[in-house]
Amino acid sequence: MSKKALKSIAILGFIFNTLPLTASDNSNGFYMGIDTAFINIGDNTLDITTYDSNGNQKSKKHYKDVTSISYGLKFGYQHFNKNRIELSLNDSKISTDVGNIKGATVGINYEWGFTSLETGNILPYLSVGLNGGRAELSKFEFKNKKADMISSTFGAGIRYNVNENVDAKIGYLHSSTGFGDFENEKGDVQGINQNKLEFGLTYKF
């Protein structure tokens, strides 16, 4: 995790810790929520490999100018120990100096809540996820402008229990995205790696 991400989480953790505390809810239950990640931190990269007419690799370029914004709607279940498993529907736009990518994915995420480290209404967590869907490209000089996409995520941060039904989340999120065959001889997007700040709100029924 980058120093910027750690610093941002620490500052927001201090802010949350100064808020008035309410009774924490440890019960099981279903919930729904929204997530967004639009602040890019650290090194975000994109790799593009090009091929000749015989399918042999001609070049591989590494780009660092990568930004994105994403939104997600999630439905999940919280265990008595505050671990969570959720289904997420995501929409994202990735911008680079060589082209843009829009993608819609469906994913499953698991979030570990470290109740042994819980302080007041602040709960640290780690999360992992796997998402798959379809991507549409613009400006890239590829014959096929659409391709399958799959991404894995890793996150860490804090949840703040506002009341027995509502909590807010902020954390660091790393994603690695790969794409299917573009079916052309000009090139292929090999993968995108991103580091972002993630924000979220959930409501437990």
pLDDT attached to residue 180: 74
Q: Going from the N-terminus, what domains does the chain have, and what CATH number goes with each?
A: 3-13+27-204 (2.40.160.20)
pLDDT band at 187 (very low <50, low <70, confident <90, very high): low
Residue 84: predicted pLDDT: 95
pLDDT tens digit string along 30-79?
Answer: 999 999 998 998 789 988 777 766 777 777 788 888 899 999 999 999 98
Residue-wise pLDDT for 115-132, tens only, equals 899 998 999 999 999 999
Instruction: List strand residue ranges (DSSP E) for 11-145, in order.
Output: 29-40, 45-51, 57-63, 66-78, 84-96, 100-113, 122-138
When mean pLDDT is compared over 15-24, 52-61, 178-187, the highest value belongs to 52-61
| pLDDT at res. 22 | 43
Per-residue pLDDT reduced to its tens digit, 89-105:
999 999 888 888 899 99
Residue 33's contacts (CB-CB under 8 Å, 6 or more residues apart) are 73, 74, 76, 200, 201, 202, 203
Q: Look-up: residue for tokens 């809810």?
A: 25
CA 13 to chain centre: 20
Rg (CA), the chain: 19
Q: Is the pTM of this model over 0.85?
A: no
